[in-house]
Chains A and B, each alone.
Chain A
Amino acid sequence: MVLEILSLLVVYAIVPIVISGALARAFRYSGERAMEAAVLSFGFGPMAAGWLLEWMFRIAPHQTAASYVAVLSAVILVLALYGRGKIAALGPSLPLLWRAFAARDAGVPRTVHIGLVALVLCVIGFLLLQGLVDPLVENDPLKHANVARMVVRDMSVEHYPYAVADPITGYYAAAVHPMGFHMIQVWLRLLSGSAGEVWTIKTVTPFYLLCLSAAIFVAMRKFGTLTAWLAVAIFLAAPLIANVARINHIDIFRLYFFFAAFAFLARYLQDRLAGDLAHSAIGAGMALYAHAAGILFVPLAIGVFAVAFAIPLKQRIIAVCVILAVAGLIGGRQYVVNYQLYGSPVTSKELVWDEGYVQGSLHTEYTRNIITPYDKVVHGALRGFTQLNRFGFTYWLFVLTLIIGWRKILADRTAATFTLVIGGFGAGVLLSMLLGLDIIIKNPRYFLTIHPLMSAVAAIGLAAVVRLVMASPRGEPAEAAT
């Protein structure tokens, strides 16, 4: 138990702080900017360690657990020494962090503020509890945990993605996803020294739920803390988010990197600091490394740059090249492997699925009820609007924001970037439908890709409604804060 608590401390506290410190030194961040960047990139740490671990397994497989831990610790120690000044500066900047989260907007009564914060914290707390305590019982979480366990058993990643069945158990999966999620579990297993019963593997999703909530908050802070808390609330209020969070699904994890990469990209478009671009590129690489849907970052980011006319064309081309290079370096490997194995960089189809008599596609159409074109549109492409039991009111609030808050969206780079990305995703869904592909519409979880971005934008509209409803403290007009 002590070992497990220590391992959690290392993975989720020490390593993120070290990585943040190193990044802050590399890009000369300080003060408020350093604090915000540290919060937005807090989840990069465990992922970076997992990534290193995968390469260690590739370079020198079949070593003892202790030797992997020792090498990884050495790398972390070097990074800690490199970023020691910034890490030491984190202490004094803690009050900044506290003020950022505890601040109350002018014009927002205490009742509303406290009620809202308490609501969000209760929801997060309960999701953490469920994610942490309930055993793994769902299909995909069990498969990910199984892969991690087999990697620890073999001390090797040579069999992944198990497109040839595992020789010992027979485990077969035509997986397309890179190993980001698995490698963090592998790391936790290595630290607790067991291939068997390790409860700490259930902490990955809860940790990233915290990271993602904090990232949404920080990204929307400039609209005031009311909007920022509302953005977190809308994000959590989608039942599908609650569901994937409490069963330790991979989605919360992948959404964090996708969101953080775009949040940094928006900052780059605002201030044009090389550091933000680099953070964005690293985040994009990790999004690619987290999940195959992360590859959507590339076309969407290119689309954003294509219309970012305020920046000179040459600079935009350089930025895109930087992102492609860094992201490809970090997360590109699996897509090459996929192309070699399945003939396509991203495919989610089992090889047997349409062989001979199986008729798997027909089965999918019937079980997911996307048989007719009408079903495909209403239950497929427009499911964000029609399936309130999965997506909550997020899509409707987003539309509301487009109507009543378009001025604010246009005036702000973050909101504008997010809206562009959402529009780009919608265009992609439309395109895939026109091409007759079911790949995006068949699974509701794929729509979650843009969910944090949409929650952030939708909060602007909801904040306006909340301001309309609540009473303003005496002497202050309700609109004063914005």
Chain B
Amino acid sequence: MSDGNETPGRGERVARRVKAAIGATIGFARRYIGTGRNLAAVALVAALFFAPGYYWLGGLYKVERYVDFDYLTASDLGKIDLIVSRYRDDPYLGIIPKVLKTGPENARWLIFREAEFAYYGNRPFIAHTDPRLIPLYRSDKVEDAVAFLNENAIDYIFVPYRHPPTLYNTVFKDIIGDPRYATLTASSGSFQIFKVNRDDREIVYAPVVRRTIAGVEGDDADSSLVMSEDDGAKWQHVGEELDCRVYKLPEEQFPVQADYAYRIQGSLAGSGDARLRLYQYEPDAADRFWSRPIAHEQLVWSGRLSQQPLPFSSQFEPDFEKGGFYFRVEVSPGAKLDLSQFNIGAEEIRRDDATGDPEDWNIVNGDDAILSSEKYDFATGAQQQSVIWGMRRPHTQAKYVNLDIPVAGNAGYEVRGTAQIDGPVYMVVLFLDDEGEPISRLKDANLSDLIDPETGQFSLRFSTPGKTRYISVRYTVPPNTRLELTENQVHRAGGGVTGRIGALFGNLGLLGASGATMSEPVVVANTTSDAYRELFVGDRLFDAYKAMGDTVFRVEPGQDYRVRFKASGQGRASMIAIFRDDNGNLLGTTGLWHGRLRPQTRHLNLRYSAPSNVRFVHYYLQFSTENGDVSVADLRHDRMQLEQVVADDLISSIDRIAIENVRRKNPYKPWKMMEDNLYVGPTKSCTITARDYYSYHLSSSKRYLITGTLEGDAYLSLYATNFDADYLPTPVRDIIWSGVVADGRRDFSVQYIPPAEGRSTLFSLTRHGGKRIKLSNLKIREIK
């Protein structure tokens, strides 16, 4: 019985188990699918938040401010410095400290934007919307405006970021556009402060030399620029052929690691002039993710394109682990860039710091061409030349007052000191991580804004990014300027509740001065502009010190060369090749290498291909610190006999993906500005088609008068972009005129002070809606 019953029993059990297993599987699958569907339902709702999330990212980017008690309570006049330091990219607030330092407290102002001035400015004023101004708005006589300013005892005029029609359409445009009536005394983020002149002064002007970015200089400052209705392709171009238009490649990030050296190489073909640049953003140094400051920028290639593909090759070592690198191409109007020939390859070259001997350099991705220097005998090179390195760049002096002051991350600090200056001096605070590498920096603070003119004391408060372990304070001194620094201290300031209490006790003398003291009297001697020499390296200079080889080598066009040298020292450096034609005219430049110097001697072995019609080349090394002994030796210049420079096939797999992305997208896409997303106000459809660039050399210690004629039918803005001459150059863009030109012609006249001691100032035009616009008769004069 037992036997007879067991078999069907077993079968039943098996069947039950199978059924149960199937049931469990189906149940699991159903539950799993159910969960998936439920998550999809939540994701559907979450997708609604995509657009606002886009806005919030701007705020999320700097989260530490939400745990800062000082910041929470910063809503009023007493903390304007704190607000401005946190909102230092906000054009609306940066001007307020300058307002507070201008004139006596009871001086009256005429203001063309009310909100920030009224709330934070603490000065009596007449607003541009005040009906008392109506008689003037009906008048077209400057005398009436002058009389009004005198009657109402108005000493200063406050002009905002974008001009209101009460300014650009009325008689007041003639007041601020003429140095006889009003002197521009300060500006920040396109806001301007004018002092009303009460004496009949004689104004003397001097012409300003215009430079085009390809290096040809001319002395006429007149130019025209036309933007027609559609995109860049249909533009008429007026002006010299060498003025370049900027295209931005789609910003394909190509990931890098800080411990590696990389090489990019490729070739460019086409006609016209072009530049290729490589740049990296600061990883976490901005409030908004779309306006991250550029950490460093390197010129890869610059020159005239030809139908023959021109190979280029450049090495670089990333400053930061994070952030990745981006490429940008700039071409002149009418230039053609053949993208089928445009390749960028990159490879990782692992560096071994143990000896600096090239044999210890380990090439990761297989290419042996670049660093296989054992094939070459250093000792017997016939063309060996010695170069004197270490010549200071005369027009700018920078001084690390003290390196590596240990600090804590996410804390508030204050630099205090006493100094005497007689011109604009810029102070930069660099934040360094535990390895001493910079992770971000505070934007240049103009010392003359911080300094108390009577006591000579100044202070700057800031808070450190999370990973900061050291800070470094640095001062930049332009020509004809003296900086005498008698005291310079770093204190822990209020950041967070403890910091605040600590500062309180410190004030009471209970804790003494907290934080590091680095008092080190420094007198930086007068610099003179006589020694100023303009050395062309693209439109950015990477200073503070640079050296130049005096030796000029002869080269044959289209041939491949290599340059080798040994280098040691501290800081970063760039090696650049400068090409000239038979007559010595500048044809172009190539950045051959950018990287960190090491205490150990490094052998660098670089190569490039000489562009067509090049006859001469000289080399140019610039580096970033005076600290330690920078030495370069064994500079050689060789024709490469056996090696072919190959563009494509050296690419590692990761880089190849990035580069294919670059190639797929259309690089002729014009440079679009995200301004309509930054500010609620202008319409969504405000489009910026492109811009033309002219470059002038303007100094921040001088004032300029810019005049011109605008024609068309649009709301438009005229920008001046100033590239500062700093180690990590930052473009600062100001709107110098904005308004509606409706079916007509309008002459404008504005005053301008460049915001930083720059190397070059570019002018560009932007159209918001509307149709064709044209700028002509652009004249720039220095007000003596």
Contacts and interface: CB of A to CB of B under 8 A. Distances in A.
Interface of A: 109, 111-112, 115-116, 119, 123, 126, 129-130, 132-140, 142-143, 145-146, 149, 165, 168-174, 196-199, 201-202, 230, 233-234, 236-243, 246, 350-353, 355-360, 362-363, 366-371, 375, 379, 386-390, 392-393, 444, 462, 465-466, 469-471
A219 B227 CA distance: 54
Interface stretch (B162-170, B213-221, B395-403, B543-551): B162-170
Contacts of B139: 356
B76 to A, nearest CB: 4
A199 B73 contact: yes
A319 B753 CA distance: 65
Nearest to A115: B42
B133 interface: yes
Candidate in B51, B52, B170 with the most chain A CB atoms within 10 angstroms: B52
Interface in B102-126: 108, 114-116, 118-119, 124-126
Interface stretch (B2-10, B30-38, B176-184): B30-38
Ranked nearest first, the 10 interchain pairs of A and B with the lowest CB-CB distance are A471-B34, A356-B138, A115-B42, A369-B683, A197-B76, A470-B41, A366-B715, A237-B48, A356-B137, A242-B52
Contact of B42 (A119, A134, A136, A243): A119
A458 to B, nearest CB: 10
B126 A165 contact: yes
B75 interface: yes
Given A239-B51, A360-B165, A369 B768 contact: yes
Provide the main secondary structure of the chain A interface: helix
A168 B124 contact: yes
Interface stretch (B277-285, B294-302, B503-511, B674-682): B674-682
Given A143-B115, A356-B138, A389 B41 contact: no
A79 to B, nearest CB: 31
Given A145-B119, A379-B684, A469 B75 contact: no
Interface string B30-62: 000111011111101110110110111001000
B257 to A, nearest CB: 33
B72 A137 contact: no
Nearest to B59: A130
Interface string B171-196: 10000000000000000000000000
B651 interface: no
Given A165-B132, A352-B137, A369-B684, 8 more contacts: A111-B38, A111-B42, A116-B45, A133-B71, A136-B75, A168-B124, A170-B108, A471-B35
Nearest to A165: B130
Contacts of A469: 37, 40-41, 44
A233 B47 CA distance: 11
Contact of B72 (A199, A233, A444): A199
Contact of B59 (A132, A230, A246, A356): A246
6 contacts: A115-B38, A133-B72, A146-B118, A201-B75, A237-B52, A246-B59
A185 to B, nearest CB: 11
A466 B131 contact: no
A238 to B, nearest CB: 7
B180 to A, nearest CB: 21
Interface stretch (B87-95, B617-625, B637-645): B87-95
A103 to B, nearest CB: 18
Contacts of A129: 66
B127 A172 contact: yes
B169 A358 contact: yes
A174 B129 contact: yes
Given A133-B72, A197-B76, A369 B686 contact: yes
A101 to B, nearest CB: 18
A170 B48 CA distance: 45
A27 to B, nearest CB: 36
B127 A363 contact: no
A366 B78 contact: no
B742 interface: yes
A109 B65 CA distance: 38
Contacts of B358: none
Contacts of B37: 469-471
Contact of A360 (B46, B79, B166, B171): B166
A142 B115 contact: yes
Contacts of A137: 83, 87, 90, 92-93, 116
B447 interface: no
Interface in B659-693: 677, 680-686
A371 B55 contact: no
B55 A352 contact: no
A112 B137 contact: no
Given A356-B170, A471-B35, A362 B768 contact: no
Given A111-B42, A352-B133, A362 B165 contact: yes
A71 B129 CA distance: 38
Contacts of B52: 123, 236-239, 241-243, 392
A239 B75 contact: no
Contact of A233 (B33, B45, B54, B129): B45
Contacts of B44: 465-466, 469
A367 B681 contact: yes
B740 to A, nearest CB: 4
Nearest to A351: B131
A351 B742 CA distance: 22
Nearest to A238: B52
A230 B685 contact: no
A239 B54 contact: yes
A358 B38 contact: no
B394 interface: no
B648 interface: no
B128 interface: yes
Contacts of B353: none
Given A197-B79, A369-B685, A392-B51, A171 B715 contact: no
Contacts of A466: 41, 44-45
B74 interface: yes
A265 B51 CA distance: 33
A208 B635 CA distance: 71
B682 A368 contact: yes
